[in-house]
Structure 1
């Protein structure tokens, strides 16, 4: 009996050691997938091929890593909202461009063109044309560099910057939004996970016995080894800006209840939260199957929370504020 229990104990210890070795050695490769196997990192299609006015932007993160981004102006003189888009894993910044092009031709009035949005699309370090290797610490710096660049531009309305993140990009965008309440006006999250710890048990079920997020009942024995926790569930409750949650209920990568948990956590502290689900939406095609409803939802969110300030309104404020200062 003793030898049997000893064998079980040794077996358990062996599994724990093996999992620890896996996490230490390969976790970045498991968390970050810059490109699907067999494909090249470099982009074969540029916005120019899609007849879009764009600018190649090269940035330096605060630790010196060289980053690539595309800045697309829907119209040359557009002063509408600027969407800072953070991509999903194994996707590319071309995803949003194809969204724009497809929706312009098929759904016309509810495309990004109809929304009059500029779009700034960043490739994280290690993704696309950007240098370096991905990590949570590094990507957080990359996102900040992108926002700082936008905040210093003179050809956009810097008071109307909206962060939009899909999947991994939602985790990136949520953290950036929380850290920059004075620069980001609103946040859009699509098919985002609660945390890497929670997602690990979904993608690799045996890990749920060793790793778990804030709301998990798992022992969490190996949480300390996770270098990129991306615990969005702990971030959304601290965000004061309006948040739009877009959830595909057929998501095969991130269980839809993750989005519901994020919304519940955020809405408990923030009255400006909106949750919209799309019954047939999967992880990568919610924007497509959502169709007209998807774009109308975004349009209404932007109109409510990042409205255009008319010239006569600003001039009126310019007259009223000095008057109030006088009487005070």
Structure 2
């Protein structure tokens, strides 16, 4: 099973096809969801949310040493390979301002870390970085904290902060005299509950599900949509970032559609960002990207932990 998945970062552990036998050894629960493809190879039914969740558990256990991982029903179950790509491209960005070397002690703020805690889990394992994860929802916060508490060593490298005011992003999370090498974010990209539902139904049709079935990757309201959609959310992030420009080396965020870039570039010009970078990513046919901006000309950072 050595076929390569096109487009993934060279350091991404998921470039080869899944070895289902090895994954089942790491997470025996996955075995009950194994099905045969028409070609006779083991796989899972990606239209089954329980199968996708079991696959995620197996991937996190096998590749990232995460012994305990679970999320409440109905919460976003992230596709691990694409999430890992963001981490690896972020590592390249940090290396560019660190003499070509990926920093071994980077500190990263994950905005809206979610019930799944996916970015801190991957980043801490792959690079030994320290993470602060922010979250607004009490159930998601409790889930993420349970993952940290359930895995040996994570309390030393991942901490959570509750964002008490859902209208704020960095305010209330970045404390005075704290510094971060980077922030990252997977923002809600729909602009209403209706468009989020339509997107979910489109995915279900593509997976051959009935329209009233549960979407395989799930998602709560605040994970999927916000007033004004992705552009409004990132514009707010950009506006707030100016206040913390001396405390954060790189602010970054995923941008789901290339069409959304022009207004974001204008917003970055308006706040006086010194450097703006776009990193293109791909997973098979799916194109994605993140943008990064900085208010600093130097690369040296103090550590917040």
Which one has a bigger Cα radius of gyration?
1
Question: More helix per residue: 1 or 2?
Answer: 1
Query: So what's the TM-score if we normalise by structure 2?
Result: 0.36
TM-score by length of 1: 0.34
